[in-house]
């Protein structure tokens, strides 16, 4: 109003009615106890008190207008700004981090910060924009988009299989050397199976325990025993023969890799671009295990000591 010089021009710029502008000014004058504008039937002019009030408010108003303009740029311009991303250590190292290079090449104005942590983060209070999560999700307060199923494989090295055989049933696991992982909660990881259509969980006695999945994988490759590991970690080693899988007929099928964020409404372009890119890129990765199940008869031959 102070800039436009009349209620009508101010109303036109704001896209509201002249009476709404007049009522707002009257309410403000009542709140501060001073007349801000002199009004006549022919003209409207700012008072001395109005000028003082305007000059005091102007820096704040300018900052608000700049903030609104920046928000408009974020919404309508190319993706930009900073993204804080959380992921489990294994999935973050093996899957998310390698894809970040291509994402940055496509969207150079978006800065990325990847935090690897096993504990479930609170997106609202921890300042996380996007979180990758594994397993089963029960949090109804977030948007959880399944990227791919989380396939789990009980694996061993060929040398271990030749020397000790492989388990043919879940109960046989107890007769083998096992490598397990300590979760962020302090518990040992349970091994999940589906037997006769029903879920079954065991926590095998472990000879070696790590709190990092890549170390568990290294121990399996070093002929130290069996471990249950996700497909994104072991699919390549299984295909090239560095590892063999067993118990594929009782592998679980109710887990997934998820990409999580707080809301679909007014999603910043940088988050939408990241979600779309990661969804497409991760689903295009080859973690297929069709050929593993097709060769189950070969694995049973290896299972015999």
The domain ranges of the chain are 7-76, 82-150+256-283, 152-253+287-303
Give the pLDDT score at 207: 93
**Contacting residues for 228 by C-beta, under 8 A, at least 6 apart:** 152, 153, 154, 155, 189, 191, 192
By DSSP bridging, strand 208-210 and strand 179-181 are: parallel
The CATH classification number of 7-76 equals 1.10.10.10
Give the pLDDT score at 86: 95
Give the pLDDT score at 225: 96
Give the pLDDT score at 6: 60
Give the pLDDT score at 305: 42
Q: Is the pTM of this model over 0.75?
A: no
7-76 shares its CATH topology with 152-253+287-303: no
> 98 φ, ψ to 5°?
-60, -30
Give the pLDDT score at 21: 67
- Residues in the chain predicted with pLDDT less than 70, given as ranges, are 1-16, 21, 40-43, 65-66, 68-76, 138-140, 288-305
The CATH classification number of 152-253+287-303 equals 3.40.190.290
Topology of domain 82-150+256-283, CATH: D-Maltodextrin-Binding Protein; domain 2 (3.40.190)
Give the pLDDT score at 157: 96
């Amino acid at each position: 109003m102070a800039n436009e010089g009349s209620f009508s021009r101010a109303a036109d710029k704001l896209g509201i009615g002249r009476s709404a502008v007049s009522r707002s000014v009257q309410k403000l004058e009542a709140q501060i106890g001073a007349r801000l504008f002199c009004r006549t039937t022919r003209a409207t002019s700012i008072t001395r008190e109005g000028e003082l009030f305007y000059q005091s408010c102007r820096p704040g108003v300018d900052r608000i207008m700049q903030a609104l303009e920046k928000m408009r740029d974020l919404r309508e311009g190319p993706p930009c700004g900073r993204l804080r991303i959380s992921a489990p250590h294994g999935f973050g190292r093996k899957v998310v981090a390698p894809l970040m290079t291509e994402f940055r090449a496509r969207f150079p104005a978006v800065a990325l910060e990847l935090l690897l942590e096993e504990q479930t983060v609170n997106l609202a209070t921890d300042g996380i924009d996007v979180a990758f999560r594994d397993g089963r999700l029960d949090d109804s307060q977030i948007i959880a988009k399944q990227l791919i199923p989380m396939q789990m494989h009980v694996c061993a090295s060929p040398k271990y299989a030749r020397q000790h055989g492989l388990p043919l049933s879940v109960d046989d696991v107890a007769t083998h050397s096992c490598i397990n992982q300590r979760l962020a909660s302090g518990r040992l990881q349970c091994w999940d199976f589906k037997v006769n259509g029903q879920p079954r969980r065991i926590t095998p006695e472990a000879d070696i325990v790590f709190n990092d999945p890549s170390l568990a994988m290294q121990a399996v490759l070093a002929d130290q025993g069996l471990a249950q590991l996700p497909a994104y970690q072991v699919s390549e080693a299984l295909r090239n023969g560095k590892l063999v899988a067993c118990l594929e007929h009782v592998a679980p099928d109710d887990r997934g890799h998820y990409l999580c964020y707080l809301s679909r409404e007014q999603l910043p372009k940088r988050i939408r671009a990241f979600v779309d890119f990661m969804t497409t890129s991760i689903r295009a990765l080859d973690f297929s295990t069709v050929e593993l199940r097709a060769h189950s008869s070969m694995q049973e031959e290896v299972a015999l000591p």
